[in-house]
A and B are shown apart, each in its own frame.
Chain A
Amino acid sequence: KQEVTQIPAALSVPEGENLVLNCSFTDSAIYNLQWFRQDPGKGLTSLLLIQSSQREQTSGRLNASLDKSSGRSTLYIAASQPGDSATYLCASAGGTSYGKLTFGQGTILTVHP
């Protein structure tokens, strides 16, 4: 059974800092890993998706990496802004588990001016 863990649970940083969010998973037989952002009381916004054959994906100030052998993914946010404040969730998709994402508990990020 896949288990996904995110560290830290919460993070507070001043504006402008570069930061790293961590995600680990127990079963390396994943198909892909997806990073999401969730604002309070809202749905999930997809940020990046990394296929199992890829090592990293980039979108603007965001960079996500994937190391299947160690069961880890990281989300790097460059030059953080107050608008980046949200909960960040990672989720893995298994080999034949149609439509099912297994989520971590999330990292609550606060970027203060």
Chain B
Amino acid sequence: KAGVTQTPRYLIKTRGQQVTLSCSPISGHRSVSWYQQTPGQGLQFLFEYFSETQRNKGNFPGRFSGRQFSNSRSEMNVSTLELGDSALYLCASSLGGVGYEQYFGPGTRLTVT
């Protein structure tokens, strides 16, 4: 079974631009969660989608948004990029519900200059 895939793997953007990251979950998984990882803050939860609905959201500004498609693939978008948005963005998939094991993708490394 294929694992979680994320595209692109690396991105360089300029302040003020916007960016879209993509995540394809493990086949059969309906839940996708997104996390931001930085050296200073560690891993922080952004949001979770299940069956195209956002069920949970972390404490991030509205510039961070996401969506999920009917095939469970998910995208996250960051608008008006700031230098502090430079991070490794990880997505994870699971069967859904609370407490199911999460499986992580390789991440997208975003650098904002």
Whether B42 pairs with A105 at a CB distance below 8 angstroms is yes
**CA A94 to CA B98, docked complex, whole Å:** 8
CB proximity to B under 8 Å, residues A39-59: 41-46, 49, 51-52
Assuming the contacts A43-B90, A106-B42, asked whether A96 and B98 have C-beta atoms less than 8 A apart, the reply is: yes
**Is A97 part of the contact surface with B, judged by Cβ < 8 Å?**
yes
**CA A70 to CA B44, docked complex, whole Å:** 24
Nearest-neighbor residue (CB-CB) of B55 within chain A? A98
Q: DSSP majority for the A interface? A: strand
User: How many residues on the B side are at the interface (Cβ–Cβ under 8 A)?
Assistant: 31
Q: Which of B11-19, B75-83, B105-113 contacts A (4 or more CB under 8 A)?
A: B105-113
Give the chain A neighbours of B48 by CB distance below 8 A.
98-100
Whether B98 pairs with A97 at a CB distance below 8 angstroms is yes
Whether B99 pairs with A31 at a CB distance below 8 angstroms is yes
Whether B42 pairs with A103 at a CB distance below 8 angstroms is yes
Whether B109 pairs with A41 at a CB distance below 8 angstroms is yes
- Residue-wise, chain B 95-109 has the 8 Å CB interface mask toward A (1 for contact) of 001110111111101
Binding site for A on B (CB under 8 A): 4, 31-33, 35, 42-45, 47-50, 55-56, 58, 88, 90, 92, 94, 97-99, 101-107, 109
Please, could you name 27 A-B residue pairs with CB atoms under 8 Å apart, sorted by A?
Answer: A36-B104, A41-B109, A42-B106, A43-B4, A43-B106, A45-B104, A46-B101, A46-B102, A52-B99, A89-B43, A93-B98, A93-B99, A95-B98, A97-B98, A98-B31, A98-B55, A98-B56, A98-B97, A99-B32, A99-B47, A99-B55, A99-B94, A99-B102, A100-B33, A100-B58, A101-B33, A103-B42
Give 10 new A-B contacts, CB below 8 A, not counting A31-B99, A97-B98, A101-B45: A34-B102, A41-B88, A43-B106, A44-B104, A89-B43, A97-B56, A98-B98, A99-B49, A99-B92, A100-B45
